[in-house]
Amino acid sequence: MTRWRCAAATDIGLVRQSNQDAVYVDGALAVVADGMGGHAAGEVAAQIAVATVREGYYADESVEGLVAAVERANAAIVRDAKENPERFGMGTTLLAVAITYDYAGASSPTLVHVGDSRAYQLRDGALRQLTQDHSVAEEWVRLGRLTPEEAAVHPRRHQLTRGVGVEEEVAVDVLSIDALAGDRILLCSDGLSNELVPDELARLAGDPTDLEDAVEGLVAAARASGGHDNISVVLLEFDDVVPAAAPIHRTVTSAPPSAETIGRPRSPSRPRRFTGRVVLGVIAFFAVAAGVVALTHWYAYSSYYLADYQGAVVIYQGQPSGVLWYRPILLEATPYSMGELRPLDQRAVRATIPEPTLDAAKSYAKNLYHQWRLGVTSTTTTTTASSGSTSTTTTTGRG
């Protein structure tokens, strides 16, 4: 029978205003969720994910039960966002390891994964990453477009290609963990893996004293290196492991089967040939698919808005809460700070002001600044120097 010892921690870090991560661990289940979305929505998404996976796994402790629990978490977050429009666009990563039982009652560890939270396996001081990040930059590394070093600093490294609660369907990576007694498994949010290089992760996660100390050491090191994001860590150490009788390594998509495959038994007749009609059908299919992608992309980035970014009035391209996996892009900073706007205008900017074009956004910001200047010069005689403009950035990030 597979058994582990465990420790976990989650920490707000040094920069963020709230902790949108959630963790859970017990003797048979470990979960890390890194939520995203403004107005506390990220927290809600992460918490729904953890609670739903926990409930679903304990209702059915099989691999199928674990995957179904992730699909249920996806549906629960989508539903919550529909009922609470202020949470539109929220989502979460989801990483879980659980001891699953097969039909014969044998138990073995299984991992399920969506997003860019990571699982590593540690054996004899060596660290191996078990999960692949579902982020734009990492997908490009797998396609050979970027080197891992380029990806580590790429502006799109935080842009997820998959998340839980983002769309009606979710694709889940499922993996049997092949471990030996004494192996450790480290689960973490990107707030840990972005701060520490793999050598440091290996050294700290392998700390032989005890699991709690190792977890504390990891969190402290991530804070010491900047603590730019919420930091979540789960550490498992196997006492005893039974490897899966039939190891799994695949991606399961919750998309419903197409009508084609449902009630139409395929005739065992002559071998199929590519006729002109089939080729045309395939071309039409890809043309429509490309059209849908292009249209979504266009919609996602068709508009601009003014917003407050750390006290500066900035211009974003995109929809404030994002569209699917297209997050808004911080296009450029205007020369004006929030302090150079009238209080009422400050409030409006904080709530974001949409504009159809970049020029319209710029001139609107300028207009707001002049409104404030009029008020200032009519009450005092001093003139204020506008603060130096911040350099243009093209960073995308989680809301």
Interface contacts to Mn ion, rule CB under 5 A: 34, 189-191, 229
CA 221 to chain centre: 22
CB of residue 314 vs Mn ion: minimum separation in angstroms?
Answer: 21
CB of residue 285 vs Mn ion: minimum separation in angstroms?
Answer: 36
Q: Which is nearer to Mn ion, 304 or 325 (CB)?
A: 325
CB proximity list for 299: less than 8 A, separation 6 or greater: 319, 323
CB of residue 1 vs Mn ion: minimum separation in angstroms?
Answer: 34
CB of residue 194 vs Mn ion: minimum separation in angstroms?
Answer: 8
Q: Which is nearer to Mn ion, 56 or 227 (CB)?
A: 227
Q: Which is nearer to Mn ion, 152 or 242 (CB)?
A: 152
Closest CA to 92 of 49, 122, 137: 49
Q: Which is nearer to Mn ion, 193 or 337 (CB)?
A: 193
Closest CA to 110 of 188, 31, 164: 31
Q: What is the dihedral of CA 190, 195, 197, 199, to 10 degrees?
A: -100
CB proximity list for 20: less than 8 A, separation 6 or greater: 34, 35, 36, 37, 42, 43, 45, 46, 230
CB of residue 189 vs Mn ion: minimum separation in angstroms?
Answer: 5
Residues 177/242, Cβ–Cβ less than 8 Å = no
DSSP β-bridge partners for residue 184: 122, 237
Q: Which is nearer to Mn ion, 90 or 244 (CB)?
A: 90
Neighbour-count burial for 307-326, b at 16+ CB within 10 Å, e otherwise:
bbbeebbbbbbbbbbbbbbb
CB of residue 399 vs Mn ion: minimum separation in angstroms?
Answer: 12
CB of residue 162 vs Mn ion: minimum separation in angstroms?
Answer: 15
Q: Which is nearer to Mn ion, 21 or 237 (CB)?
A: 21
CB atoms within 10 A of CB 392: 10
Q: Which is nearer to Mn ion, 8 or 67 (CB)?
A: 8
CA 32 to chain centre: 11
Q: Which is nearer to Mn ion, 218 or 368 (CB)?
A: 218
The DSSP string of 18-37 is S--EEEEE-SSEEEEEEEE-
Token digits for 217?
């050491």
Number of Cα atoms under 13 Å in the Cβ half of residue 199: 0
CB of residue 115 vs Mn ion: minimum separation in angstroms?
Answer: 9
Q: Which is nearer to Mn ion, 10 or 189 (CB)?
A: 189
**How open is the CA angle 315-317-321, to the nearest 5 degrees?**
100
Q: Which is nearer to Mn ion, 173 or 229 (CB)?
A: 229
Residues 341/372, Cβ–Cβ less than 8 Å = yes
CB of residue 154 vs Mn ion: minimum separation in angstroms?
Answer: 16
Token digits for 110?
């299984």
CB of residue 95 vs Mn ion: minimum separation in angstroms?
Answer: 12
Closest CA to 5 of 22, 23, 25, 19: 25
